[in-house]
Amino acid sequence: MQTDSSFTFVLFGGTGDLSMRKILPALYEAHRAGMLAASGKIVAVARHEEDRAGYLQWVNEHVKAHVAKSGIDEGAWASFVDRIEYVKLDLGKAEDFVKLRDALQDQSGTRVFYLATGPSLFVPICHALASVGLNENARIVLEKPLGYDLRSSNAINDAVGEIFAEEQIYRIDHYLGKEPVQNLLALRFGNALFEPLWRREWVESIQITIAEELGVEARGDFYDNTGALRDMVQNHLLQLLSIVAMEPPHSMDSDSVRDEKLRVLRALKPIDPRDISKVAVRGQYHAGVIRGTSVPAYATESGVKTDSATETFVALKVEIENWRWAGVPFFLRTGKRLADRVAEIVVNFRAVPHSALGASALRAGANRLVIRLQPNEMIRLYCLAKKPGEGMNLSSVHLDLAFDQFFKEGQMEAYQRLLLDVINGRLALFVRRDEQEAAWKWVEPILNGWAASGKPKPYAAGTWGPAAASAMLAQHGTCWLEEEN
């Protein structure tokens, strides 16, 4: 996949954490692999460095350490750095955007503005770009979080939508660019084996987990005003759910895929405020031990209020009211300071209706499909097989699709794929406004219910969260899949 033509990639927040850890390393990998047009330029925008030389020194000091496992090819790195220009810009000064416009005058091809900034800056930046005519025939990338609730999200979308048309707006969710998520689409819609089983008659339950060992790190101030439901559920988890549950699109063009995801989001069973305690568990980590190291409680983290009621853990039971999924519970879980770092989708198939082979063939979870997104990307199918020896004794075995064994070429990182899609004008892996609105509408009753209730349930750092999350699944005769990576 190579960019189709020349481009100018303008990176607002050019010295920020996201630019350092993800965006610039992803652009380097695309450059090293020959996927960027030779004439393409990267223009970093920030207010900290005085000139290009100072910015390139920052890039060499900070970005190199975050380049993927393939490491640095010094020749490729030198030619990548040659692509980078720098504009020192103060968002409060209109004349600085004139300076940016002048810096871009000699650049040709597709123009991309990536806003790797806080959401409070999205609208001011868009207005400033429009004031100097830089919004015309351009594409704009918006990072999450896009708003604090439905109202604030709509306000940002309305304001940005007055300046950029919907087809110019790329709302990024990096989980949609991960290789196993792409392979989930291939698994479902490219094989006759799975799609007939992908429905309520054969699926007992589905789990989607995004678990982190890390705490809030240096983001305590931001996180304490956000929480896990806004930070992870409203976007990442509901997007993954919509891909797992969507109907087959008639093609892989952008609107066909996003139309089907939207139908899932609109079919989510509304949460009755009286039932929130039954279908939604929130927790907050206390002091504990992770991999032999003591870690502090959330309330003592820098930037966090000591009496904070912000959740660092969420577990939800979700139902989809449509023909394919009626009656099948979807369990979503995410949290910080959990026992392991893992992101995975678990499809638990129903047991056989009658077994002549003994009770083990009837146990829940005997057949399940695990799609792991991190830390190691793979797809694993569990089934039962006879143990060697006398008698019909069954044991769980698994078949693995290990991508690095089948495909010798290196896997593309999520940000690399998504940035190339922006440059090439492919919208399928980006969130459309109506999808975002549907997700916020479903989440809001939970937010409102929690705002009116007590504090989150405590859990020790290094565990899998509050016991109530496991109890919720036990009521349905199942449990969270928790195994070694």
CA distances from 118 to 145, 339, 435 (A): 8, 30, 21
CB 319 within 8 A of CB 234: no
Measured CA to CA, the distance from residue 430 to residue 177 in angstroms comes to 9
The two beta strands, 41-46 and 457-460, are unpaired
121-127-129-135 Cα dihedral, nearest 10 degrees? 120
CB 19 within 8 A of CB 44: yes
CB 330 within 8 A of CB 317: yes
CA distances from 164 to 133, 327, 340, 419 (A): 11, 41, 41, 19
E strand or H helix that includes residue 331:
strand 330-335
Distance of CA 226 to the CA centre of its chain: 16
**Residue found by looking up tokens 């920052």 in the block:** 58
Burial class (CB in 10 A: 0-12, 13-18, 19+), 65: exposed
The two beta strands, 368-374 and 378-386, are antiparallel
Residue (of 41, 452, 38, 14) closest to 274 by Cα position: 452
Q: Quickly count helices (H) and strands (E) in the chain.
A: 17, 17
User: Which two structure tokens, joined as six digits, stand for 341?
Assistant: 């770092």
Which residues touch 354 (CB under 8 Å, ≥6 apart)? none
Q: Is 127 a catalytic residue?
A: no
Q: Where are the alpha helices (DSSP H) in 64-177?
A: 74-82, 94-104, 122-131, 150-161
Which residues touch 405 (CB under 8 Å, ≥6 apart)? none
Q: Which of 31, 62, 174, 236 is catalytic?
A: 236
Taking residue 147's Cβ as centre, other Cβ atoms within 10 Å add up to 19
Q: Report angle CA 363, 367, 369 to the nearest 5 degrees.
A: 140
CA distances from 380 to 76, 481, 485 (A): 36, 13, 12
Cite the active site residues: 236
